[in-house]
Structure 1
Amino acid sequence: MAAAGWAPPRLPGFILTERLGTGTYATVYKAYRKTDTREVVAIKCVSKRSLNRASVENLLTEIEILKTIRHPHIVELKDFQWDSDHIYLIMEFCAGGDLSRFIRMRRILPEKVARIFLQQLACALKFLHDHNISHLDLKPQNILLSTPENPQLKLADFGFAQYMSPWDEKHVLRGSPLYMAPEMVCCQQYDARVDLWSVGVILYEALFGRPPFASRSFAELEEKIRSDRAIETDLVVEAVKKDQEGDASAALSLYCKALEYFVPALYYESDARRKEAIRAKVGQYISRAEELKALVTSSSKSLLQQGNPARELLREMAKDKPRLCAALDVASAAIAKEEEGKDDNDTLKLYQHSLGELLLLLAAEPAGRRRELLHAEIQALMARAEYLKDQMKMREAQSMGKEALAEPVRSTCTLQ
């Protein structure tokens, strides 16, 4: 039901219920059609009294655009009506809320989820640009999700949208500052490509939980965008913190994860000064990661070489269990391969195979001394497997970073 003091207006043919959101001149309600189907819709109620000349033009453009386009990743305008007080836009209802809330609830999104959302957003944006339409207010709050589970992205709120050919240039300030392209923020002429900048900011926020240029004022935002200073990710901030606290293992892992994001940025940055700033950061992180790696490797090897003193006892107690003996043999082969420094991928597969078997056997093992020993052995093998996996990731990240640093400076137009 609607909150007290926010009684929804009455619209023939519909029952308006809870308030979904409020903007500058409109309030959106969840509603049901008064028909046998009881179709659920969202109704955007625009108060006529709140409209000025500019907002009337924006509203008319929004209705015109939404009435003429249909796309699976753009929210559908089903109808519009009006009375003496309001104009009503009857929209497709998206039960999953908006992308901003989705990110906040999860803090950050896994890369595979962000990739799917970005593909869907790019699909919608290409459709709009093919029809010479620019959204001009792309942000997570204006991206809806069809359902809470396995959601489809739906681009919404076309209040600032404009018909713009790719070569058209505008200078009117539109949109939300955190997601505006530099041309807008710096009050320069811009064209349809400003939507692409907003997509990049949205992707960054999905992966890191906040926009790249979060600022307390418009002036501070403009200064950050004009600056050549490379963006510090939360990963780097946390890595430095862990480094200062003496947690070498955590700091090393975070530095290497940060490199996974900075290396692609180094490849594709076209501005020479920004590219050089990122290059300096990558070199700095690689250097510190190598120092930390030496510390972590030394202490981890010492710990792992102590082994599991109960391993042989477990073997003795497993003689009547051929499947358990076989799984322990595979684990021993993995340990031997690791200590010999042989192929890490093969070693990791052996660890994973043995652990898969041992976990199944643990689930069926009755309480007793053998179960306790088996549990301890599984924990020890998991520690070795995780250590090996971390080493492989670290080497890969450092290798990527060194390759990127060795690359000659080149224009992005040569990249395929």
Structure 2
Amino acid sequence: MAAGFAPPKLKDFILTEKLGSGTYATVYKAFRKTDSREAVAVKVVSKKSLNKSSMENLLTEIEILKTVRHPHIVQLKDFQWDSDNIYLILEWCSGGDLSRFIRSRRILPERVARRCLQQIACALQFLHERNISHLDLKPQNILLSGNVLKLADFGFAQYMSPWDEQQALRGSPLYMAPEMVCRRHYDARVDLWSVGVILFEALFGRAPFASRSFAELEEKIRSDKPVELPSGVRVPPDCRDLLLRLLERDPDARITFEEFFLHPFVDLEHMPSVDSLQTAKALVLQAVQKDQDGQRSAALSLYCSALEHFVPAIHYETDRQRKEALRQKVNQYVSRAEELKALVKSDNKISFEEAKCTRNILTEMSRNQPRLLAALELASTAVAREESGAEDSDTLDLYQQSLGEMLLALAAEPQGRRRDLLHSEVRKSSSHYVSVLCSRVHVQVSLC
């Protein structure tokens, strides 16, 4: 390194290569001067470069990072200062940033983009609960440590209640929400727009409003034309729904934080975590018990639920030998689930005609209950789709809607012949629903 560009001296650390620099700060890789030689990142902020606003931002960044501890947020280990600089000693993330990760692969497979999104959402949920807004979310500010993502660079972050409004321009134009780019009052919801841009870039290799200049970017964002997904690239319906709701220009029409955290594509319940394996083991024990008792449909449902937690458990495991042993065990459960699926399908085929007859009688007995009639019609449509081989999300939705209505009707139905028929219809529709739900067991486990 040339003498004029030597890194500053710091008492307890040896600063080495420069990782990046901005208007106010330069980041170096460093090692602690102890036997452990712990690697850290040191953010060096020149006092001369700070004005009143940037000093306030730096103090807020330190205050926020001192108080937050989360597996998906970069940890502030310490901060120091001398006559020239302020130093933030941060957790070292060896995998670079998400921007480089996306560029190296051009686009990310949907399953990989989803894993990234889950980790970002988990960190955002933690921040949102503490009224903290990042305000500069972009792939360059999301670091990788192994296969773990961590939000970094809280230089623009603020404590903001959902109703607090700001007007200062913050962040990077390509990832800024329209209300910020157009210099209107904005609030915490700008972070949701930024998440949408990041997901769009991960899936399609470019930001939705990629432009050659800020003027061109502003013109695209000011347009009333809805954001469109690139043609020729297929994304699942729930992913498409989330993207378009995040990339809603009007913040009042944009998905809310609560809706985002509960969205089926985000699916925080099944994100890889320290609890994934224990949850999976508990479910598989129940599945084995139901299997031994001859309750095929219930066993299949529990095996599928267990697999939804085993897949993230495999993803979470870092030890190669344990990961491989776990994968082999899961493959055994997959094989049994496939056997059960075939048996349940066979049972369902035998019961198709019998169920149709029961449904016809029940329909005749329910002419005075339009909601129940509509539910029976939905069930008939779902069965017809399943018989034709359409075991997709639309078929699942039809079964789910019809079951919801039939269960409500069953709860209100007095003892008698119609109640018995309705109970039978619910039981058989539930079995069909489980069969369709579990039809993609191999797809799920291949994601390991």
* TM-score, normalised with respect to structure 2: 0.53
Question: In the alignment, does 2:183 pair up with 1:187?
Answer: yes
* Counterpart residue identity of residue 217, structure 2: L
Q: 1:399 to 1:138 in 2, by over 3 A?
A: closer
Residue 95 of structure 1 contacts residue 146 of structure 1 at CA under 8 Å; is this kept in 2? Answer: yes
2:109 alignment counterpart: 110
Q: What is the DSSP-based 3-state SS (H/G/I as helix, E as strand, rest coil) of the residue aligned with 2:201?
A: helix
- 1:80 deviates by 0.4
Task: Give the Å deviation of 1:260.
Answer: 6.0
What aligned pairs does 1:352-367 form with structure 2 within 5 A after superposition? none
- 1:232 shift after superposition: 5.0
- Residue 201 (1) aligns with residue 197 (2): yes
Aligned to 2:260: none
Aligned to 2:89: 90
Amino acid corresponding to residue 241 of structure 2 in structure 1: P
Deviations 1:250-287 (A, max 9, x none): xxxx37x37969963798599799xxxxxxxxxxxxxx
Q: CA, structure 1 residues 92+224, in 2 after alignment: closer, same or farther (shift >3 Å)?
A: same
Q: 1:219 to 1:71 in 2, by over 3 A?
A: same
Asked whether the equivalents of residues 3 and 18 of structure 1 are also in contact (C-alpha less than 8 Å), the reply is no
Query: How far is 1:52 from its partner?
Result: 1.2
1:170 corresponds to 2:166: yes
Q: Relative to structure 1, is the Cα distance of residues 66 and 272 closer, same or farther in structure 2, using a 3 angstrom cutoff?
A: closer
Q: Distance in 1 between matches of 2:223 and 2:82?
A: 50
Size of the aligned set, in residue pairs, is 259
Rounded to whole Å, the distance in 1 between the matches of 2:161 and 2:188 is 7
- Which of the residues 202, 206, 226 maps onto 2:222? 226
Q: Which runs of 5+ in 1 are unaligned?
A: 237-253, 274-345, 347-394, 404-416
Q: Contact 2:13–2:31 at 8 Å: present in 1 too?
A: yes
Contact 2:178 2:221 in 1 (8 A): yes
The change in CA–CA distance for 1:399 and 1:122 in structure 2 (over 3 A counts) is closer
Equivalent position of 1:264 in the other structure = 241
Residue matched to 2:211: 215
Pairwise CA distance, 1:25: 1.1
Counterpart of 2:210, as a letter, is A
Q: What is the aligned partner in structure 2 of residue 299 from structure 1?
A: none
Contact 1:137 1:176 in 2 (8 A): yes
Q: Is the 8 A contact 2:134 2:158 kept in 1?
A: yes
Report the AA paired with residue 221 of structure 2.
Answer: I
Distance 1:21 1:171, change over 3 A: same
1:200 partner SS: helix
Deviation at 1:230, TM superposition (A): 4.3
Give the number of the structure whose alpha-carbon radius of gyration is greater.
Answer: 1
Alpha-carbon separation, structure 2, partners of 1:77 and 1:22: 18
Query: What is the rounded CA distance, in whole Å, between the counterparts of 2:131 and 2:38 in structure 1?
Result: 32
Partner of 1:130: 129
Q: Which residue of 2 aligns with 1:153?
A: 149
Aligned to 2:38: 39
Q: 1:95 to 1:83 in 2, by over 3 A?
A: same
Aligned to 1:80: 79
- How large is the Cα RMSD of the aligned pairs? 3.1
Letter in 2 for 1:163: Y
User: Residue 162 of structure 2 aligns to a residue in which SS?
Assistant: coil
The alpha carbon displacement at 1:231 in A equals 4.1
Partner Cα distance (2:67, 2:49) in 1: 26
Shift of 1:168: 0.8
**Identical amino acids, percent of aligned pairs:** 72
Contact 2:174-2:209 at 8 Å conserved across structures: yes
How far does the alpha carbon of each residue in 1:178-216 deviate from its partner, in whole angstroms, 9 at most, with x for none? 111111111111111111111111100111111101112
Distance 1:157 1:260, change over 3 A: same
List per-residue Cα deviations over 1:207-239 (Å, max 9, x = no partner). 1111101112223222212223344555x3xxx
Alignment partners' CA distance in 1, 2:186 and 2:393: 39
Contact 2:196–2:247, Cα closer than 8 Å, also in 1: no
- Within a 5 Å distance, the mapping from 1:58-77 to structure 2 comes to 58-77=57-76
Q: Which amino acid aligns with 1:77?
A: L
1:115 & 1:262 partners in 2: Cα distance? Answer: 9
